Amino acid sequence: MKLSNAFTPLLLPLAALANPVPEPEVVKGEVVKGGYTPRDIIALRDEDAEVAGLVPRATVVCKIVNVVTTVSCRWNPWHAGWNGNGKSAVRTDFKPNTGHDFSCYAVGECIGGNCTWDWAPNWSCYVPGYYTDSKCTKAALGPCPWPDVPNSSPPAGLWD
């Protein structure tokens, strides 16, 4: 009897190490309405989209051309605001001959006779089509699925 009492304290830690507690899949505070995590919601949305026959929009890598220094990637497809009112905020600047992903185009302010503005999804901004190479054609990109006219619902641009 005394021998079993002596082995019990030694065997309990070994038994605990042999059967570790699994790590939780969800970090506390990550669960949202319905008991789904953000990753679950995205996965379900993507599955529903595939069932409906939708696929993610392909991107086209285009180089920045027709500029010596940089070209600004803007929040909306115009420089000085719609009809000259206000400004379109600059999100970032692209250097010449650098390649960037573009997924669609919107019609906006005409630059050098080109009125398309190409959407850079990685930066959430537009670059005038005048400054992208010949790979970024209307046919290659396709129109953006949101309105490109201000005061529409939703407003121009992809609002997060």
Length of the chain: 160
Q: Would you say the C-alpha torsion 111, 113, 115, 120 has a positive or negative sign? A: negative
Q: What is the pLDDT of residues 6-52, one digit of tens each?
A: 667 766 676 666 666 665 555 555 555 566 666 676 677 777 777 77
Q: What is the pLDDT of residues 43-102, one digit of tens each?
A: 777 777 777 776 666 789 999 999 999 999 988 888 775 555 567 778 899 999 999 999
Q: Would you say the C-alpha torsion 77, 142, 104, 151 has a positive or negative sign? A: positive
In sequence order, which ranges of the chain are alpha helices (DSSP H)?
2-18, 38-51, 138-141
Confidence at residue 160, expressed as pLDDT on a 0 to 100 scale: 36
Nearest 10 degrees: Cα torsion 95, 96, 99, 100: 50
- Distance from the first to the final alpha carbon of the chain: 70
Beta-sheet strand order (sheet of 114-120): 90-94, 71-74, 125-128, 114-120, 104-111
Q: Say how far apart CA 86 and CA 66 lie, in whole Å.
A: 26
Query: What does the DSSP 8-state code read for residue 67?
Result: -
Contact 78, 155 (CB under 8 A): no
Burial of residue 23 (CB within 10 Å: 0-12, 13-18, 19+) is exposed
Q: Say how far apart CA 58 and CA 104 lie, in whole Å.
A: 9
Confidence at residue 159, expressed as pLDDT on a 0 to 100 scale: 38
